[in-house]
Chains A and B, each alone.
Chain A
Amino acid sequence: MKRDKSLIAATLKDIAPDLKRIERRLFLRQSLSLGALTMLSGCDLGSGNAVQGALDAMSKWNDGVQAALFSQTRLAKTYAPSDITPNFPFNAFYTEAEAPVINGKTYKLQLSGKITDKKPWSIADLRTLPQESQITRLICVEGWSAIGHWGGVPLHVFLDRIGADKTAKYVGFKCADKYYSSIDMPTALHPQTILALDYADEPLPTPLGYPLRIRIPTKLGFKNPKFITEIFVTNDYPGGYWEDQGYNWFSGS
């Protein structure tokens, strides 16, 4: 239904995500125009999938390199209140007007996977847990960055409370806007990884992910999903909305 509406009022911004998908299909032709494909594949031009395969393999390799570089005790830099970026930017694969509006009173966070206590959590429940706040820089995969003031429950506290299997490989997130992503367990247990409920000491505004998002200052912005409706713990690689299209999965900072 949402889709029909956006089609009628199709502005360039509305179709931006589709354009990106088309861009991806153009990827091979562009590579050809630079002659890079032939140089790298060293075979016939029909072997474009081999080049993409090599690039995917390198991205996997870089996941491992980044996991090795990652330190669970190294903290992202924190900033003074005066450093905070005014009007923290909205960013998603759709426009701000399309951001899902969630009723925080009836909202329940669902849990699944390798978790002992899968009882759903309300926002009020989450606020009874220890809260922490941070002023950190969010770095977008596009290159820009913005400093914001986030507050909420450290994810490691929450994972302890629900009896999550911390030996599992992945923590995954499903969102109300059909977005999804996943992170490695070491990053999930990092002290600055928080289930954010607040921005600037107020409940998150809708564009920033009300009522619940994850804030990870050691990862790029797209690894900080908003409007989270479900958290799961698993050993099966869950991927992500952008990751499945080619963004590097680990994407650590």
Chain B
Amino acid sequence: MSKAGPPKSHPLFVRITHWINALAMILMIGSGWRIYNASPLFDFTFPREITLGGWLGGALQWHFAAMWLLVINGLVYLIYGLVTGHLRASLLPLSPRTVWADTVAALRLKLDHTTGRYNAVQKLLYLGVLALGVLVVLSGLAVWKPVQLWWLAALMGGYEGARLVHFFCMSGIVAFVIVHLALVFLVPATFLPMITGRAPAPKTNEANE
């Protein structure tokens, strides 16, 4: 994989799909919160200021428009990643032992970070958020079409079960995004490579330690 020349981090297709996904996620989560507020599952609502759509009808329009962006972009990412072997190369192998070792190292703040090469904790989190991404779409389809896609709804305990699955997948994704953004703030050198595709110079890395 590695060869001489300027160090590469993220391939172009990863960078493009990453930023389209970021936009789609903002639209889906912002409008989804407004839809949630119309009939809250739990004893709280999301502050209006951080929701999208203005009213339920507007939020639904955003949600059902942006879902195409999310799904098409997600499919492109997954298919391209599987066909090129990118997903396997960057996210596997993964074993409980390495996850444990890297978790301990991370908690002791002794974990190396190399842009474009993931430690076991990162692999686990990225695989986890990919799984949540698939599940949030499937549960969303079940909530949208509980009659036509009855088998999908049945897998999730029916319409009301699918609503809960959809909500908890969103919660998991939001938790991931918070950690993800916190780490980018902690290690700013990881930000530019997601745009340029070039790994940061080693000294930049040290400056951040």
Contact = CB atoms under 8 A, between A and B. Distances in A.
A74 B56 contact: no
Interface string A53-79: 011101100100010011100111100
The number of chain A residues touching the other chain, given as a range, is 35 or more
Contacts of A70: 148
B26 interface: yes
B30 A247 contact: no
A137 interface: yes
Contacts of A218: 147-148
A20 interface: yes
Interface string A213-247: 00001100000000000000000000000100111
A245 B61 contact: no
Given A33-B49, A36-B30, A62-B64, A27 B58 contact: yes
Interface string B27-57: 1001000011011010000001101111111
Given A36-B30, A69-B148, A137-B159, A59 B52 contact: no
B27 A23 contact: no
A253 interface: yes
B57 A245 contact: yes
Interface of B: 23, 26-27, 30, 35-36, 38-39, 41, 48-49, 51-58, 60-62, 64-65, 68, 145-150, 158-160, 163
Interface of A: 20, 23-24, 26-31, 33-34, 36, 39, 54-56, 58-59, 62, 66, 69-71, 74-77, 137, 139-145, 217-218, 242, 245-248, 252-253
